[in-house]
Structure 1
């Protein structure tokens, strides 16, 4: 299916073009086209109530992509993008977010384009040097609903290609695409830091930038046979410094648009192990979402521990498609 024939998702009303909510519909139904090279298209439909809760698909008639394993519609527990196991509470380590690193700021001249005046924060998951600073990344930080480790090492393919390397590579490609459309892009880090940033600081960087949209780039580390991408949306959370009520609606809209364009550009299937085949998952245990005050989502671009997904994730041409799909979703969200 060509880009010109890609269906437009229904939008929730908002004030202006900033991506901020101005009274979202209580319930809409959205659809993602699951494309196949032969031109057979299916639809994944799900309830998109603005309460931020986990919803099962209301219809599923998606054709499987070549090479995809049969879909298992029962969601299973996956490693957290922010850590494999929760840290013990009560750490006395210092907390609070630092100012964004100057190396991560995009301060060069920007061309005119559809995203002129927009600010996008791109959060490359993990850091390739986290493993050299285990004490620092293991300290716990407050995420509103509890405490979690500052950061983790992430996962890798069986051949040793690290999630941190993947996420930074896609982030660089995504920055290039968005800048060409006039957006100011801020990375939460650009590989210049010895570790981290911590998950609370990652959220604070987007908040301090007054981002119109923020996306955290990851790849999952699940079991062999678990395939496909999923976008993680913030749940409705209130506690401590966390209050996601203002961002749940626009974040869901951002996530739906990224999911739809990711399918269109990469021809990847929605996850067969998370989200009930919708490509969407809602979580309230991630500090990067809980502490955000701007529309934000995570995207798990595939499963690094599955050989078929790993073959895609390690391919530079596919990573360019992944970045393009994410960028198209962000543009669709901001330029409407």
Structure 2
């Protein structure tokens, strides 16, 4: 729809007058064309038409200026080979989501005692939860799924000790360690969240102590596990912005323990991470945020990648 009025007068035909400058330019064009034709016919100084003094195609001519597509980081990675595009190709990582959402319904099974080398402990526990009822088991499974995706994108083979309702409870801590051992994992990590009092905040990574008792012998994997744990602690803090625990580890974000079956019975480099305190309101706000859980998975992933790439 058109509109006419004080601000929209109908267009009028305009007549243009030739300016002196335009006339002058028109007179110059034929002369310039004649000069160019003569120049091309004789040949450019130093060589044949279309070549520079070195006999190479002149960059000014269209034929000698092929277009090149921009190179993206992905193209660089492909050009460098499979190891650059998939840096974890050939590596096996085992993720152990702490507890199991079904443990609440299988009290008798998870309370059976198992031998962890230093002593006998319950097969598993229900874990903790936020004051609003968001369970640790749901948290750890969610982070484990996100972590698996990130690691698989970089070429790693990833195994979970349990997933969704398979199995319906557990598995026992002895079995969790066995899964990592059987897979000959290059790295294994157990994902948890703590249940400390309000005001206790932050994350910490649990490293295996040097244990040599019964079926447990962590001596071959203590050094490598500590290296793995330090990488995870550093990258987790950097990516999530979370501070190391203010109640465990003296501010280092690291804790050494010899009473956890998942570490005592491991024959591959393995650590636990307590991502935060579910009983603290400020930490709980983070742990219940999907965006923050993605950061948690990213931080853990970067720590594992740093460890595996040395």
CA shift for structure 1 position 296 = 0.1
Q: Counterparts of 1:129 and 1:115 in 2: how far apart (Å)?
A: 32
Q: Counterparts of 1:249 and 1:115 in 2: how far apart (Å)?
A: 21
Secondary structure in structure 1 of the residue aligned to 2:188: strand
Q: Is 1:122 the counterpart of 2:95 in the alignment?
A: yes
Q: Is 1:190 the counterpart of 2:163 in the alignment?
A: yes
Give the unaligned 5+ runs of structure 2: 1-83
TM-score (norm 1): 0.67
Residue aligning to 1:157: 130
Residue aligning to 2:260: 286
Match of 2:215 among 241, 245, 250: 241
Count matched residues: 226
The answer to which structure, 1 or 2, has the higher relative contact order (CA under 8 A, 6+ apart) is 1
Provide Cα deviations, 1:32-60, integer angstroms capped at 9, x if missing partner.
Answer: xxxxxxxxxxxxxxxxxxxxxxxxxxxxx
Give the unaligned 5+ runs of structure 1: 1-110
Q: Counterparts of 2:248 and 2:120 in 1: how far apart (Å)?
A: 24
Provide Cα deviations, 1:100-146, integer angstroms capped at 9, x if missing partner.
Answer: xxxxxxxxxxx950000000000000000101000000000000000
Residue aligning to 2:151: 178
Change (3 A) 1:235 1:223: same
Q: Which has the higher helix share?
A: 2
Q: Counterparts of 1:239 and 1:281 in 2: how far apart (Å)?
A: 20
CA shift for structure 1 position 264 = 0.5
Secondary structure in structure 2 of the residue aligned to 1:277: coil
Residue aligning to 1:135: 108
Secondary structure in structure 2 of the residue aligned to 1:298: strand
Q: Is 1:202 the counterpart of 2:183 in the alignment?
A: no
CA shift for structure 1 position 161 = 0.3
TM-score (norm 2): 0.72
After the TM superposition, which segments of 4 or more aligned residues of structure 1 sit over 6 Å from their partners? none
CA shift for structure 1 position 193 = 1.3
Q: Counterparts of 2:253 and 2:125 in 1: how far apart (Å)?
A: 24
C-alpha RMSD of matched pairs (Å): 0.9
Q: Counterparts of 1:197 and 1:274 in 2: how far apart (Å)?
A: 27
Secondary structure in structure 2 of the residue aligned to 1:129: helix
Q: Counterparts of 2:124 and 2:223 in 1: how far apart (Å)?
A: 27
Provide Cα deviations, 1:235-285, integer angstroms capped at 9, x if missing partner.
Answer: 000111100000000000000000000011000000000001000000000
